[in-house]
Structure 1
Amino acid sequence: MAEQNNGAVAANEQQAQFTIQKIYVKDISFEVPNAPQVFNEPGQPQLELNLNQKVGRVAESLFEVVLEVTVTCKLADKTIYLAEVQQAGLFQLAGFDERTLDMMLGTYCPNVLFPYVRQTVGDLVASGGFPPFYLQPINFEALYAEGLRRRAEQVQANQAPGAGNA
């Protein structure tokens, strides 16, 4: 009996398929609005990093995942540079249950895209004449878990007595 159950699990695992169809830069921008004066500005610049992810269904089992990274470097109130990259990928995911599919799109796909976006941002900053910028590793599993926690809190808040009665 145990062998039959193991066989059923193996059959289900074999049905799930993950394939990277294409990885590409969807959008890219680099600005140095106050050049060339900013190259002589004294002081310690401040970096701000914004990260966003979008998932879109292209076909029944084909998904586009876009990892958006924006790096803003400022000195006081002046923008030194602004780098924006949308690194995208087309991923074929078939045979996954909804929970696993959501997890794959929220963690595994961004992990695949991250090295590409890190390289692109670093190249942009260096090509702009600035010291190298190394995007630190990101724990997409932790970000995904935090997103699940927030969604659960929102659902609970909406279901609370009187939540919809204003």
Structure 2
Amino acid sequence: MSDDQTPVFQIQRIYLKEASLEQPNSPAIFLEQQQPSVDIQLGVEAKGVADGVYEVAVAATVHTKIGERTVFLVECKQAGIFEIRNLPQEQMGPIMGIACPQIIYPYLRANVADVITRAGFPPVHLAEINFQAMYEQQQAQQQDDAPRIVTA
């Protein structure tokens, strides 16, 4: 194998791409004694930015409410730039859907907890995620949604 065909997987940069915090009912919400409900949504996206260079981002939305009133809403997107070259095409999906998010996610968890703490609330620690199971579920969903060709 020649050197120019050697597989390459390198982290170029990990960065906080986006972070927002809303606490529309402060300061009154700080006086509430009731436990809030917490809704957490996660997503992964990947796109090419140059030849052999990809951006992968993991986004989290944490929405806490007491009844219908928002305690706080945090949206955070952690991203990474990865150089990925000379890998078989069938490995690209798992690399960008499993390996890269696993590298990025600890940074996202820390940033979400930090933003919430700095807002004056106890931190919300995002649970560990099985990105392989998440990826496989997305692949199965895409296959289920694929148009079917029916012949008579």
Query: Is 2:141 the counterpart of 1:153?
Result: no
Please report how far the alpha carbon of residue 80 of structure 1 lies from its aligned counterpart in structure 2 after TM superposition: 0.1
Larger radius of gyration: 1
Instruction: Classify the secondary structure of the residue corresponding to 2:123.
Output: coil
Paired residues for 1:5-16 under 5 Å: 15-16=6-7
Task: Provide the TM-score with structure 1 as the length reference.
Answer: 0.85
Deviation digits for residues 103-148 of structure 1, max 9, x if unmatched? Answer: 1000000000000000000001111111121111000000001111
Query: Is 2:112 the counterpart of 1:121?
Result: yes
Across the aligned residues of Structure 1 and Structure 2, the Cα RMSD in angstroms comes to 1.6
Match of 2:98 in 1: 107
Instruction: Classify the secondary structure of the residue corresponding to 2:24.
Output: coil
Q: Distance in 1 between matches of 2:80 and 2:116?
A: 23
Q: Distance in 1 between matches of 2:7 and 2:117?
A: 41
Match of 1:23 in 2: 14
Deviation digits for residues 61-85 of structure 1, max 9, x if unmatched? Answer: 0000111111001000000001111
Question: Which residue, out of 86, 90, 93, partners 2:77?
Answer: 86
Please report how far the alpha carbon of residue 96 of structure 1 lies from its aligned counterpart in structure 2 after TM superposition: 0.9
Runs (4+) of structure 1 exceeding 2 A deviation are: none
Unaligned runs of 5+ in 2: none
Q: Distance in 1 between matches of 2:143 and 2:26?
A: 46
Match of 1:36 in 2: 27
Amino acid at match of 1:122: A
Match of 1:4 in 2: none
Higher helix share: 1
Q: Distance in 2 between matches of 1:130 and 1:154?
A: 41
Unaligned runs of 5+ in 1: 1-7
